[in-house]
A and B are shown apart, each in its own frame.
Chain A
Amino acid sequence: MSPTVRLQEMIRVIRSARTQGEERGVIQRECAAIRAQFRQADNGGRSHNLAKLLYVHMLGYPAHFGQMECVRLIASPRYNEKRVGYLGAMMLLDENQDASLLITNSIKNDLAHSSQYVQSLALCTLACMGSAEMCRDLAPEIDRLLRASSSYIKKKATLCAVHIVRKVPELGELFTPAARALLAEKNHGVLHGAIILITELCERNTQTLVQFREAVPELVHIMRGLVTSGYSPEHTVAGISDPFLQVRILRLLRILGRNNDTASDAMNDLLAQVATNTDSSKTAGSAVLYETVLTVMDIKSESGLRVLAVNILGRFLLNNDRNIRYISMTSLQKIVMTDHNAVQRHRGTIVDCLKDQDASVKRRALELSLALVSAINIRSMMKELLLFLSTCPPELKSHAASGIFNAAERYAPSQRWHIDTILHVLTTAGGDVRDETVPNLIQLITNTSQLHCYTVHKLYRALVADISQQPLVQVACWCIGEYGDSLLRGECEETEPVQVTEDDILDALETVLQSHMSSPATRGFALTATMKLSTRITENVDRIRSIVSIYGSCIDVELQQRAVEYNALFKKYDHMRAAVLEKMPVMDRSSSGQTNGESGGGGVQELEPTKPKQPEVVVAPQPASQVCDLLDLLSGPDEPSLPGTTLGPASSMTGSAGGDLLDLLGGLELTPTLPTVPAAVTVYEKSGVCLKLSCERPLDASQTITLTATNASDHDITAFTLQAAVPKNVQLQMKAPSGDALPARSSASVTQTVLLHNPNKVSLKMRVRLSYISQGSTVQDTVQIDSFPSPGL
């Protein structure tokens, strides 16, 4: 029985297995037999055993025990064994396997073999899986073969050289002379490979690029020959003469003509000729036209040629073939920034593609449409985009929503339109918008004071209609809480008045509170809104009181805490209630879009007039000058823009404090990069006193830092105080500490909150001075904090 039949017989047996288990059984038996055969001496069937193993490998079973057999077969003098051996090497070995080095010598010998088919096996394998080391070893052989007499060998050697240059770019210099000579080849296969090789060399080495610019006329000549040649059975595909070669030449011309007027001029006419004469009724022609357009747009072409190229893309947009529409939009995307007006002319067609059935086409159309939105077309484009949003596939919704928000923000013709658009998005795609949409929208609404009435009416109506879209519900609750009085007054210029009673509003908020669809955050919004209404409505305050007290025993900790605090606001602090719940001021738009900065609002700052700016200092010697010392020490060597600072600045500080610092910090782990996992970092630990720091906001202009101190020693500590200093341009506000006693053995801790505002985004550092009394003596110590942990998410 011929060995091939044995292989096919095995395949048949495997395929006839009815279950996965049966198949596994057959394969295990076969593999055992194959392994046994490998161990035996040469029996003439080696190549077929390896072939069987390769089949099994393709089914997904392990075949690494065949690697050495590949090595052995490659070294065999018999062609059929070499062939399978090399095939096995390409399938089972790659540059990361140790065994691959063992075939280097065989490859070297085979490259010099008398039969070109053996040489070809070696070249193919080297180009497929040759490691950098193998490439370095064999590069001179390849260079020699580039000058061989056989076209068959030359073309394979050329692509092998391409692989070598990709793996070991320095060897490019070795191949440059041969590559230049190959341009004179008539054989298409060799020429094609040569063009690829030259492209690689030019992309990696600017000198080579300059050198090959001189070959542009030659390339133009070759290309012209292809375009004007008649039918050839060897090379013609759908009326195009060797489209593969044409496309590669066009790509090389692109690289040579980029940023160079002379080269671009030399190819201008040719490109125009190809663009006008290529028949694009079939894919082959379209492929060539596509590459031509890409080249025209990338080099320094005449404006007439550019217009021609964009028009070709416009024509592609109307093509029945989806693929062509798709690549047209991909190309238009690349040039929409540079040739914006030209692409705008095709806006209508692009917008139509939003309605295409195919998901890939839709995605491209969305990207392009968003790029084409401008102040002039914003209204009509937004209509189309909103329509798209309501029907688009789920994977595109989030991208579409954020694209719409960006466009609305940049080009909104009026504030009312802006708010309407955002509300529309929230109602159609509310679940897919990003988290920062809610605070951004709230900020926008607050700042549009003339539309408060209109906005709250619209939101109330939306809320009553549907409470499932969380971002919408959150914004609606917030607005109702803030502007509920406008809602009750009933009159509104911009929209139809609607009769809303206090009970209606409270009903709506209670529905949100009780609904299982509401997320915990949403319920928080609703509860706070209810509370705010207690100062804006007159009759149903008792109802609010009862809602708030019910939630005082809610399982959700956040809600419970809020309810308890609000309850307290009703009972003990009723006199403060009006002030606490008054309307929010206009918010300053800080760069991160987070909390208000110091210049705009009086709101938050004003609420804390009684909190001390500095903690009480019990230690006798002038606290003010000590604080100044800290500031001087810190602001001395500091520069506002020191990225990635380490302990450098610390070491340049004078004074004994500096020396101690280095010792202290020697034990701490301070890296320039911020650790991402721990939320609380120990910044100081000595004599049992431990100070931990945690941040509550992501690192940006404003953050809240909590310092927690514990005392693990055996003696109680009293009069524990902290002072802090920060670099210039950073504002610091320390809240009152929770206490000043640190009992022994960490039985209680002291916490203190620090607010930092860093508008110039200087590298944030803080120096903290601890001071306390332990066992009758005063202890003072200082610690410098150079890096702040990011909050655990």
Chain B
Amino acid sequence: MGAKMHFLLLFNRQSKLRLQKWFTPVSERDKKKVIRDMTMMVVGRPPRSCNFIHWRDLKIVYKRYASLYFCVGLEDQDNELLTLEVLHRYVELLDKYFGNVCELDIIFNFEKAYYILDEFLMGGEVLETSKIDIGLSIEEAEVLQETFEEYMSKPTY
């Protein structure tokens, strides 16, 4: 019933996983299977294909940005076109944070990619629709973290 996303995966053309967010409880074994199915289905698609695929009882929406595929599993009630906008928004947020984001940024700073995602999506739904507000929250959380880390690395007397 609840129209929502089931999972969000980022992987490259060699099917290496760069980010996985699961919005429903899935066993490790099933996760691996889904990832395998997604990579096989999506990486093989010809360049100007339709971005929507029917898979089991879900709709799959995917979009390629440079070397990364962004892939979402949706329920049947969901609006696929809007999901394309959701993916685009996430890429914009990453781009703003990292400055011309590329795959390497996401590899070496994967926790940051998750933190940004968690300010944008929650429980499989869009949490905040304003790019600016998300940017502000991320910055403030960063400051909080850096303060703590600085404090932690100061020598104790």
Contact = CB atoms under 8 A, between A and B. Distances in A.
Contacts of A762: none
Contact of A322 (B49, B126, B131): B49
Given A87-B114, A290-B81, A358-B50, A200 B2 contact: yes
Contacts of B157: none
A117 B123 contact: no
Contact of B128 (A155, A237, A251): A155
A95 B22 CA distance: 12
A96 B2 contact: no
A84 interface: yes
Given A84-B111, A234-B131, A363 B79 contact: no
Contact of A251 (B3, B81, B123): B3
Chain A CB count within 10 A is highest, among B52, B111, B131, for B111
A322 B125 CA distance: 26
B149 to A, nearest CB: 6
A159 B128 CA distance: 10
B102 interface: no
Interface residues of A, number: 74
A358 B89 CA distance: 26
B51 interface: yes
A360 interface: yes
Interface stretch (B64-72, B93-101, B136-144): B136-144
Contacts of B127: 155-156, 159, 189, 192-193
Given A203-B1, A322-B49, A363-B54, A237 B85 contact: yes
B82 A159 contact: no
Given A51-B111, A196-B125, A124 B152 contact: no
Interface in B92-121: 107-108, 110-111, 114-115, 118
Contacts of B114: 87
Contacts of B141: 83, 117
Nearest to A161: B123
A247 B82 contact: yes
Contacts of A243: 82, 85
A234 B130 contact: yes
A604 B60 CA distance: 54
A95 to B, nearest CB: 5
Interface in B4-62: 17-20, 22-23, 25-27, 32, 46, 48-54
A188 B129 contact: yes
A84 B79 CA distance: 33
A124 B115 CA distance: 10
Contacts of A322: 48-51
Among B51, B129, B144, B145, the one with the most A-chain Cβ atoms within 10 Å of its Cβ is B129
A226 to B, nearest CB: 11
B30 to A, nearest CB: 11
B52 A323 contact: yes
B109 to A, nearest CB: 8
B85 A124 contact: no
10 closest pairs, A vs B, by CB? Answer: A287-B81, A127-B123, A287-B82, A94-B25, A234-B130, A360-B50, A189-B128, A163-B123, A322-B50, A159-B122
Given A83-B145, A322-B51, A323-B51, 7 more contacts: A44-B153, A83-B141, A87-B114, A166-B1, A234-B131, A284-B85, A326-B52
Interface of B: 1-3, 17-20, 22-23, 25-27, 32, 46, 48-54, 79-82, 84-86, 88-89, 107-108, 110-111, 114-115, 118, 122-123, 125-133, 137, 140-141, 144-145, 148-149, 152-153
17 contacts: A58-B20, A80-B148, A87-B111, A127-B122, A128-B123, A156-B127, A159-B125, A188-B129, A247-B82, A251-B3, A284-B85, A287-B79, A287-B81, A322-B48, A322-B49, A358-B48, A358-B50
